[in-house]
Amino acid sequence: MKRILLLTTVACLFITGLIAQKRILTASHYTVQKKIECSNGTVVSAHPLASYTGLQILKKGGNAFDAFIATQWMLGVVYPWAGTVGGGGFMVARLSNGKIITLDFRDVAPAAATRDMYIDKNGKGDTHLSQNGSIACSVPSIVAGLFAAHKYAKLPMSVLIQPAIDMAENGFAITLMEANRLNKKKPDFVTNNLVTPLFVKEGGWEEGDILVQKELAETLKRIKLSGSKGFYEGKTAAAIEEEMKKTGGLITKEDLKNYRVKFREPTLFTYKDYTVATMGLPSSGGILLTQMMKMVEKRNIGKLGFHTAASMHLMAEAERRAFADRAEYMGDPDFVKVPVKALTDDKYIEDRMKDFDPLVATKSSAVKPGSVKKESEETTHLSIIDKEGNCIAATTTLNAGYGSGVVINGTGILMNNGMDDFSIQPGVPNMFGAIGGEANAIAPRKRMLSSMSPTIVLKNKKPFLILGTPGGTTIPTSVFQVMLNVMEFGLSTEDAINNLRFHHQWQPDIIFVEEGFPLQVQKELEALGHMVKSREGLGRVELIKILPKKIEAAGDNRGDDDAEGY
Ligand code: DON
């Protein structure tokens, strides 16, 4: 009898073990998994249901591109804060054959946009207009991006979009963070729409409430049926144009039909034994990362130590100088000549650090953009690797959380406020405090300058890190820090992303540190002449580290970010 009991217990433990290993998530019951170690493939994104969808696609035989597309469609449903089809983005990918590609599916200004469209009658740039309502919307481009990426995928689009259609149709339980964010945005949803969208709930949202998005499901079905034309033409495009006409926006059916993605040359640079592949213009991320990494490369930063005043001072000084160039030179390369070669030249970068003093902060007022010869709050990131070794880092955005607050009536599409990423007037800071000038001025069909920095790091020519984050102008500085955390300070995958971060962007002349940053270090930085201010969360990094015998993946603790793998 005793023996039977023992055997039964062992069998039960075995079965329980198996069940525990098999992680099953449903729309109404799911948990966040922050870290996973695996050997085949992994998806890290801002929401468990999205990462989980990507994982199922990998297990079904899809590759990293299939997983990216399915995860992004799903983010559009379960992560309205940043993920909907009303925005744009960038993808950096390394194919299993070693080829690196970058896809620019950045949104563009409508054809009717003009340079001074946000300047009020007193001659002042009005950021309320560039950030709220239909007039703030740029031409959405995520759908075009997903169809362009599909060229590298294995499974039909109908399979990849179906989980998102089902989720929109049947609903899912929202997280506490989503509930709080939706409640906070309520006044904007009410103000910016003629018909109050379903994101507003009388009495307020609570964790676990079910969000059903029937109209969005219908829009996704039209895309399933007619491909990208299901979005850029026909009923969806007509609904977008009608909403714009009624509410003072500029996007027309022609704008939608004319939108085109661009495969661009990747930004590649070496840092010690590593090769970094990241996104070039119209994202400033690639040039900023090249400059910042090169500025610290020969300065023994690893020895200065993690989160010491000395290493932070060095990094902040690099950030300050790089961002001064961003404001002056960077914009859409199809519209302005950006001296990319000169800005990323080793000698030029070293010259920029000539006046670096390890003991004294340089004043931003004394740092001008470098002299080069002119040559001819919301976003989300996902990191993926599959078992063939295809890697994807992709960042997409609505710009602010829930974008412009505009939901296209009858379609469930939440629209971006990407126009605020332009420099609406020289010297007028955008929502991230970034200033700019001519290079990033508004022009019809122009892409607004971005900071999104999806990044893949290679070691001995093999994928080593896949990362990226939201955070506006803090994106390149967060990616910069996380790379150094792994490559110089030896932090573990989770520690590299979860430790507190800091940020300097030239103007304002402040080192922003995340709340809770050790006071002693803040004081030491002040003693060097820095102004230090604390602020809430800097980004949410999704990091994959590929080691010879295993893959580690981690989602940032600052959000519901989630890592799934097998
Ligand atoms: O493209 C950019 O740089 C911005 N639109 C990104 C916005 C963002 O990361 C907001 N997230 N907090």
CA of 399 to the centre of ligand 1 (A): 5
Tokens of 350: 């070293």
Q: Is pLDDT at 1 greater than 80 in this prediction?
A: no
Q: Is pLDDT at 17 greater than 50 in this prediction?
A: no
Q: Is the CB of 452 under 6 A from ligand 1?
A: yes
pLDDT at 22: 85
Query: Within 10 A of 38 (CB to CB), how many other CB atoms are there?
Result: 17
CA of 174 to the centre of ligand 1 (A): 23
Q: What is the full DSSP assignment across 309-351?
A: HHHHHHHHHHHHHHHHHHHHH-S-TTTS---HHHHT-HHHHHH
Residue 212, classified by CB atoms within 10 Å of its CB into exposed (0-12), middle (13-18) or buried (19+), is middle
Query: Within 10 A of 210 (CB to CB), how many other CB atoms are there?
Result: 11
User: Which residue lies with its CA nearest to atom 4 of ligand 1?
Assistant: 472
Tell me the pLDDT band of 12, cut-offs 50, 70 and 90. very low
Q: Is pLDDT at 18 greater than 90 in this prediction?
A: no
CA of 548 to the centre of ligand 1 (A): 34
pLDDT at 371: 78
Q: Which atom of ligand 1 is nearest to the CA of 418?
A: 5
CA of 474 to the centre of ligand 1 (A): 9
Residue 12, classified by CB atoms within 10 Å of its CB into exposed (0-12), middle (13-18) or buried (19+), is exposed
- Which ranges in 192-308 belong to alpha helices (H)? 214-226, 229-232, 234-247, 253-258, 285-297, 301-304
Question: What's the average model confidence in pLDDT over 408-412?
Answer: 97
Q: Which residues are catalytic, by number?
A: 379
Whether the Cβ atoms of residue 56 and residue 64 lie closer than 8 Å to each other: no
- R_g over Cα of the chain: 23
* Amino acid, res. 536: E
Q: What is the DSSP letter of 155?
A: S
Bridge-based pairing state of the strands 262-264 and 274-278 = unpaired
Q: Is the CB of 76 under 6 A from ligand 1?
A: no
pLDDT at 6: 44
Q: Which of 58, 20, 25 is nearest to 42 (CA)?
A: 58
Gap between the Cα atoms of 286 and 266, Å rounded = 8
Q: Which domains does the chain have, with CATH numbers?
A: 8-262+379-440 (no CATH), 263-377+451-559 (3.60.20.40)
Query: Within 10 A of 206 (CB to CB), how many other CB atoms are there?
Result: 12
CA of 252 to the centre of ligand 1 (A): 24
Query: Within 10 A of 249 (CB to CB), how many other CB atoms are there?
Result: 23
Q: Is the CB of 378 under 6 A from ligand 1?
A: yes
Q: Which of 283, 310, 284, 277 is nearest to 296 (CA)?
A: 310
pLDDT at 461: 94
Q: Is pLDDT at 504 greater than 90 in this prediction?
A: yes
User: Which residue lies with its CA nearest to atom 5 of ligand 1?
Assistant: 399
Q: Is pLDDT at 392 greater than 60 in this prediction?
A: yes
Q: Which residues pair with 119 in a beta bridge?
A: 125
Whether the Cβ atoms of residue 493 and residue 543 lie closer than 8 Å to each other: yes
Reported as a single tens digit per residue, the pLDDT across 145-169 is 999 999 999 999 999 999 999 999 9
Q: Give percent of the chain with pLDDT exceeding 70.
A: 95
Q: What angle do CA 241, 243, 82 make, to 5 degrees?
A: 95
Q: Is the CB of 450 under 6 A from ligand 1?
A: yes
Query: Within 10 A of 544 (CB to CB), how many other CB atoms are there?
Result: 28
Question: If you average pLDDT over every residue of the chain, what do you get?
Answer: 95
Reported as a single tens digit per residue, the pLDDT across 250-293 is 999 999 999 999 999 999 999 999 999 999 999 999 999 999 99
Gap between the Cα atoms of 475 and 305, Å rounded = 22
Tokens of 95: 């194919």
For tokens 């690797």, what's the residue?
A: 385
Tokens of 374: 């002119």
Tell me the pLDDT band of 15, cut-offs 50, 70 and 90. very low
User: Which residue lies with its CA nearest to atom 2 of ligand 1?
Assistant: 450
Whether the Cβ atoms of residue 256 and residue 107 lie closer than 8 Å to each other: no
Q: Which of 126, 512, 451, 539 is nearest to 315 (CA)?
A: 512
* Amino acid, res. 292: M
Gap between the Cα atoms of 239 and 152, Å rounded = 31
CA of 23 to the centre of ligand 1 (A): 32
Question: What's the average model confidence in pLDDT over 112-139?
Answer: 97
Reported as a single tens digit per residue, the pLDDT across 453-480 is 999 999 999 999 999 999 999 999 999 9
Q: Which atom of ligand 1 is nearest to the CA of 539?
A: 12
Q: Determine the 3-state secondary structure of 279 from DSSP.
A: coil
Q: Which atom of ligand 1 is nearest to the CA of 421?
A: 5
Q: Is the CB of 471 under 6 A from ligand 1?
A: yes
Q: Give percent of the chain with pLDDT exceeding 90.
A: 93
Q: Is the CB of 80 under 6 A from ligand 1?
A: no
Q: Is pLDDT at 205 greater than 60 in this prediction?
A: yes
Q: Is the CB of 130 under 6 A from ligand 1?
A: no
User: Which residue lies with its CA nearest to atom 8 of ligand 1?
Assistant: 472
Q: Max CA-CA distance within the chain? A: 91
* Amino acid, res. 108: V
Question: What's the average model confidence in pLDDT over 94-98?
Answer: 97
Sign, CA torsion 190/194/200/203? positive
CA of 537 to the centre of ligand 1 (A): 14
Instruction: Please give the C-alpha separations between residue 31 and each of 24, 52, 561, in angstroms, as whole numbers.
Output: 9, 11, 11
Residues listed for the chain:
566
Q: Is the CB of 377 under 6 A from ligand 1?
A: yes
Q: Is pLDDT at 318 greater than 50 in this prediction?
A: yes
Tell me the pLDDT band of 374, cut-offs 50, 70 and 90. low
Gap between the Cα atoms of 11 and 53, Å rounded = 31
For tokens 């300097």, what's the residue?
A: 504
Q: Is the CB of 481 under 6 A from ligand 1?
A: no
Q: Is the CB of 397 under 6 A from ligand 1?
A: yes
Query: Within 10 A of 535 (CB to CB), how many other CB atoms are there?
Result: 14
